[in-house]
Structure 1
Amino acid sequence: MRTLYVVTHPEATHHVEGVVGGWHNSRLTPAGVRAAVSIAEALRSRIPDGAEVELYASDLRRTVRTAEEVGRLFGVRPSLDDRLREKSYGEAGGKPQSWLDQRFVPPPAVGERMEHDEGVRGAETKAAWARRLYAAMDDILRSPVAHQIVVTHGGSLTFVVASWIGMPVASAGYASFRAPSGSITTLHEDDFFHNRQVARLGDTRHLDSAPAG
């Protein structure tokens, strides 16, 4: 059985500063670092000792720092991949969230949603965002390693899961698999039917035991 653990990075500076994340290269806060330690410990408790593990991460600082804590317990170095980044909000990245809220054009309830122009210069369309996550997942899943960990972002989790279950990109316009920061989503594929399960979405039980600052 293949098991893929998808981690959404914990609290980062853009969360507490109220600015747009996306490709803005924010760092984990002290609370985020403590949560990353708890994430690593939770993963270590779920994966058998001696099992081969692969670790992949977005190349932004907040995901790299999270992956470093995970890699330390497993004795592996993360493979960094910019395709695992959050959506790019173009010129809005790093600006106050209110700046984006005033300019953002939400997608229509019906009609073209994947190529929708959100009204922000340089922002990715949902289609472009999905395609790069799907491509990253294709490469990750070519590996035969049974235990894989992917450290990414809350928004990008949707397309990791959509890719996992084989949802066509063109059908992902309404997809949303949201999970809290610092969560672990567990995906299983069985060896007989090769069916793919979303075994647990957005698990944060490990954060209840995170040490206080």
Structure 2
Amino acid sequence: MRTLYVVTHPEATHHVEGVVGGWHDSHLTPAGVRAAALIARALRAQVPDDADVELFSSDLHRTAQTADAVAAQFGVRPTLDRRLREKSYGQAEGRPQEWLDQRFVPPPAVGERMDHDEGVEGAETKAEWAQRVYAVMDEILRRPCGSQIVVTHGGSLTFVLASWIKMPIESAGYASFRAPSGSITTLREDDFFHNRQVVNLGDISHLDPGR
């Protein structure tokens, strides 16, 4: 049986500054650092002590910091991969969110959504974003390890899950799996049918240690 834990990084500086994240290399806030420690402890409590564990992360600071907290609990070294990054917003990255909102061209309700031009120079299309996340997930899931942890971003979580359930990439234009910052999503594949289950989506109960 394979269990995949997908972590969305907790609060980062771009959240509190009101600027566009994307590939803008923001760091965890002090609250985010505390949340990363809670995430790491929650994962340690869920993963069997005798399990082999692999840890993968986006290479941006906010995710790498989160992965480092997890790595310390498991005694493993994270594999950093830029393909697990959030969507690139090109010229908008690091600018006020209002700057992007004024220029953003939303995708049509019907028609081409994956290659849609959002009106921001240098931004990735949804197709480019999905293709890189699908590619890295294919590589991760070809590995035989039974307990894997992936640290990524809230937007990229959609394509991690879409690839997990083997949604054709051309059908992912309407997909949206929402999870809060600092969440843990648990995915499981059984050894008999090889069905892939979404056990939970976006759990943040670990962020309230008083519960």
What is the TM-score normalised by the length of structure 1? 0.98
Aligned to 1:90: 90
Q: 1:105-184 to 2 correspondence within 5 Å?
A: 105-184=105-184
Q: Which amino acid aligns with 2:46?
A: R
Per-residue deviation at 1:200? 0.2
1:160 is paired with a residue whose SS is: helix
Q: Which amino acid aligns with 1:87?
A: K
1:103 and 1:4 map into 2 onto residues whose CA distance is: 37
Structure 1's unaligned 5+ residue stretches are: none
2:22 is paired with a residue whose SS is: coil
2:73 and 2:208 map into 1 onto residues whose CA distance is: 20
2:208 is paired with a residue whose SS is: helix
Q: 1:1-213 to 2 correspondence within 5 Å?
A: 1-209=1-209
1:136 and 1:205 map into 2 onto residues whose CA distance is: 28
What is the TM-score normalised by the length of structure 2? 0.99
Question: Number of residues paired by the alignment?
Answer: 210
Q: Which amino acid aligns with 2:187?
A: L
Q: Which amino acid aligns with 2:100?
A: L
Per-residue deviation at 1:209? 1.4
2:165 and 2:38 map into 1 onto residues whose CA distance is: 28
1:65 and 1:151 map into 2 onto residues whose CA distance is: 10
Superimposed CA distance per residue, residues 117-161 of structure 1 (whole angstroms, 9 cap, x where no aligned partner): 000000000000000000000000011000000000000000000
2:52 and 2:25 map into 1 onto residues whose CA distance is: 31
Superimposed CA distance per residue, residues 166-212 of structure 1 (whole angstroms, 9 cap, x where no aligned partner): 000000000000100000000000000000001100000000118xx
2:185 and 2:50 map into 1 onto residues whose CA distance is: 22
Q: Which amino acid aligns with 2:133?
A: L
2:4 is paired with a residue whose SS is: strand
Q: Which amino acid aligns with 1:185?
A: T
Structure 2's unaligned 5+ residue stretches are: none
Of all paired residues, the percent bearing the same amino acid is 77
Q: Which of structure 1's runs of 4+ aligned residues deviate more than 2 A?
A: none
1:88 and 1:20 map into 2 onto residues whose CA distance is: 10
Q: Which amino acid aligns with 2:163?
A: S
2:177 is paired with a residue whose SS is: coil
Q: Which amino acid aligns with 1:141?
A: L
Per-residue deviation at 1:50? 2.1
1:143 and 1:154 map into 2 onto residues whose CA distance is: 24
